[in-house]
Amino acid sequence: MRHRPSSLIALLAAVVGAAALVAPGQAQAPRMPPDFQARVFLAGFGSPLEVRQSGLKRRVDVASGGLVQSFVSDRSRGALVVMTAAGRQRIAFLFPLSQSETNPPVPLDISAFSSTRMTRMGASRVAGRPCTLMRYARYGGRPGVLCAGQDGLVLQLTPDGRRQPLFQVLSLTYARQENRWFVPPPDYQLSALPGTGGIPAPRPPAPLTR
């Protein structure tokens, strides 16, 4: 099954929106995972997603044919940027980011399962990294099995009834992610999408040099 553009935007917006499950301003500070870059298989997509995370910022890149879409969330600003590149056209839309994500479709953080019962099953390896196999009682309406690393990053998720994982990390590199990955490049036209609650975007600072 392949996703239509509208469903793709909704799904990926939820993926990047789950970068921090505790909203800024709440008494409990959100957990700060180490910076990382990952390639992630997600059922229904023809090619792996590329995910980068730094603190409260997450970027997800999706390439399909000649179209490249990037979804960048920044919890500290409460903003979601959707960047699209096709041929010579470069455009970025800015949306307000929901501060209360529940049941994100790709829960990369183990804290997404804090409200359900978890049972440890054993140990495994995903993307060459050790992880703990755990059975969760309910998430997204179904029970299933996940494998999470020691730092709380969910490397694989398989809801009951699926032969293959819903998502699986294919490669993972822990390294500092430069700020340039999380702001639109200067050649992108910034805009707000009419009728969807988009808000005008200020011009971001110049990206860092490579």
| Distance in angstroms (rounded) separating the CA atoms of residues 101 and 117 | 19
Helix (H, G, I), strand (E, B) or coil at 180: helix
Instruction: Give, in order, the Cα–Cα distances in Å from 124 to each of 89, 130, 149.
Output: 44, 6, 10
| Distance in angstroms (rounded) separating the CA atoms of residues 5 and 19 | 22
CB contact at 8 A, 103 and 80: no
Going by C-alpha positions, the residue among 21, 51, 25 that lies closest to residue 113 is: 21
| Distance in angstroms (rounded) separating the CA atoms of residues 26 and 76 | 12
Question: Residue 27: pLDDT band by 50, 70, 90 thresholds?
Answer: very low
At residue 65, the pLDDT reads 77
Domain ranges of the chain: 1-24+34-102+170-210, 107-165
In this predicted structure, the answer to whether residue 204 has a pLDDT above a threshold of 50 is no
Question: Residue 2: pLDDT band by 50, 70, 90 thresholds?
Answer: very low
- Token readout for 194 is 């009419």
At residue 38, the pLDDT reads 96
More confident residue, 81 or 18: 81
Amino acid at 149: G
pTM across the whole model: 0.76
- Token readout for 143 is 């029970």
